[in-house]
Structure 1
Amino acid sequence: MKKAASIVMAAFLALALSACGAAKSGEDGKAQSASGSAVEKYTFGTDATYPPFEFQKDGKYVGIDIDLMNAIAKEEGFEVEIKPMDFKGIIPAITANQLDGAIAGISITDERKKVVDFSDPYYQAGLSLIVNEDNNDIKSPQDLKGKTIAIKKGTSGANLADEYAKTYGATIKYFDDSPSMYQEVANKNADATLEDFPVISYKIAIDPNAKLKIVGDRLNGDFYGIAVAKGDTTLQKKINDGLKKLQENGEYDKIVETYLGSAAK
């Protein structure tokens, strides 16, 4: 009798442990919703040093990209985990299956499309030329001859800076993050930098000690896209569907206006 009771108890415990395990997010990337149905969970990389698109405030990750990704996930019924990392490591992490995707102010380029797929474009940025507020000598890329450009590694700005280095004989100093790049120009250790227009506009607007200014017109018209693993049409479709719904119901505009105002959409 004791032996039979022990067998029943062991079976009960095994069942209970199995049920507990099923309620947690597992290796298949699924979690349980409040109703008990499976909810897909995806990990997205971002660069948390890129306001107003992604940055840390009061211990939380916020910004246009973060709010947008969370809104898409809510609209499409999946969960998203945001993983901050250096920008230059984001696409390699996707190709190595360490991330499901990324939203980090990533410009859609032909080179990147060779290794990852993108959502529909969600924001037109475009690069601007930035100099120290006291610099009146540099007004266009042609004035970069013999000058030093501070630039963040792995960005579309870095690609354009390489072109300017070849064309105008400029020297490039590379950095891992945007704040260090800005500081180099603010301290006059570099003559100029290249940054996406909405990002640098936000920086200058909120930081009275930025010591930076934008010169000339936008240098190009890059579009941002949400990156996913090559061939992951399922996740790509979910993102595109969610993005379209947010654009149609006005939520997208509200998110952008929260950080940039209605004039910077």
Structure 2
Amino acid sequence: MKQKGIITKLLLVVATLIVAGTLTACGSNKSSNSGSSYKSELTQSGKLTIGLEGTYAPYSYRKDGKLTGFEVDLGKAIAKKLDVKANFVPTKWDSLIAGLGSQKFDVVLNNVTVTNERKKSYAFASPYIFTQYVLVTKSGNNNIKTLKDIKGKKFAEGTGTNNEDVAKKYGAVAVPSDQFVNSLSMIRQGRVQGTVNALDAWNSYAKEQSTKGLKARAIPASEEPFAEVSPMLNKDDTKLKTKISNAIKELRKDGQLAKISKKYFGKDVTTQNN
């Protein structure tokens, strides 16, 4: 009986150790999963790598050789909230989305409008700008007054941009243009009849450059809804998307988002009522 009792105790000890080991393993796995950080989704450790053009004032552009603009300041503010450094990678528009897909950068901040087509392949964090459109034509052109008048007309637009989408929606023939200033030059030269673009881009241009030979009409929301601009990410980067969304919400709540907007646009364009 004594020997049987010893064997029974030994079996109980072994069983206890097995259960404890199993629980420890499960606990370790749970801890590992719950503790996995959004930082594991970053292309470079300790950095939020941001793709942008750097040629589109006032969103991102160079002044005295230095990269500046609304989205540059926004990128720095978001990175600070995420406790990482902002790493900007200036890239031409037609390579921005491809660069995101190849993980050249973590997020695109480049006045990118949320569309149903883009949402099929990419994720979008919380919006940070609501953009009103503008219709720019040659000053002597009296035939184009609204978007309904652009059908069949040649319009200079960036390939793959929401501006191009709007122009095509109303029947315009899109002529590729890689920069807003080039689109305006094409209008002056008579190569195209006009362009659809962001009102804020036009206002920024008008402050620094002559608008001689051009006329612009702000398109009311009743004619074409404001464009919702958001950070664009890879669909799999769900944790990073959540962190960036939360950062933007915090920047909106503490007033930093509006402050940055007023610095570059002269008003708050971060709400639908701007």
Bigger radius of gyration among the two: 2
Structure 1 stretches lacking a partner, 5+ long: 1-26, 31-39
Q: Partners in 2 of 1:69 and 1:58 — Cα distance?
A: 20
Match in the other structure for 2:126: 120
Aligned-pair CA distance for 1:83: 0.7
Correspondences of 1:1-265 after superposition (within 5 Å): 29-30=44-45, 40-165=46-171, 170-209=172-211, 211-215=213-217, 217-218=219-220, 219-262=224-267, 264=269, 265=274
Secondary structure in structure 1 of the residue aligned to 2:135: strand
Note closer, same or farther for the CA distance 1:145–1:54 as it changes in structure 2 (3 Å cut): same
4+ residue runs over 6 A deviation: none
Note closer, same or farther for the CA distance 1:85–1:28 as it changes in structure 2 (3 Å cut): closer
Write the deviation string for residues 164-220 of structure 1: whole angstroms up to 9, x where unpaired.
33xxxx433112222211211122221110101211222123322464322252333
TM-score by length of structure 1 reads 0.79
CA contact (8 A) 1:204 1:213 kept: no
Write the deviation string for residues 221-242 of structure 1: whole angstroms up to 9, x where unpaired.
1110001111212211221121
Match in the other structure for 1:14: none
Secondary structure in structure 1 of the residue aligned to 2:51: strand
Aligned-pair CA distance for 1:57: 0.7
Aligned-pair CA distance for 1:141: 2.1
Q: Partners in 1 of 2:142 and 2:43 — Cα distance?
A: 57
Note closer, same or farther for the CA distance 1:196–1:142 as it changes in structure 2 (3 Å cut): same
Structure 2 stretches lacking a partner, 5+ long: 1-41
Note closer, same or farther for the CA distance 1:210–1:124 as it changes in structure 2 (3 Å cut): farther
Q: Partners in 2 of 1:142 and 1:179 — Cα distance?
A: 24
Secondary structure in structure 2 of the residue aligned to 1:121: coil
CA contact (8 A) 1:119 1:227 kept: yes
TM-score by length of structure 2 reads 0.76
Q: Partners in 2 of 1:210 and 1:72 — Cα distance?
A: 38
- Identity among equivalent pairs (%): 27
Note closer, same or farther for the CA distance 1:246–1:122 as it changes in structure 2 (3 Å cut): same
CA contact (8 A) 1:126 1:223 kept: no
Match in the other structure for 1:17: none
Q: Partners in 2 of 1:153 and 1:115 — Cα distance?
A: 18
Q: Partners in 1 of 2:43 and 2:80 — Cα distance?
A: 20
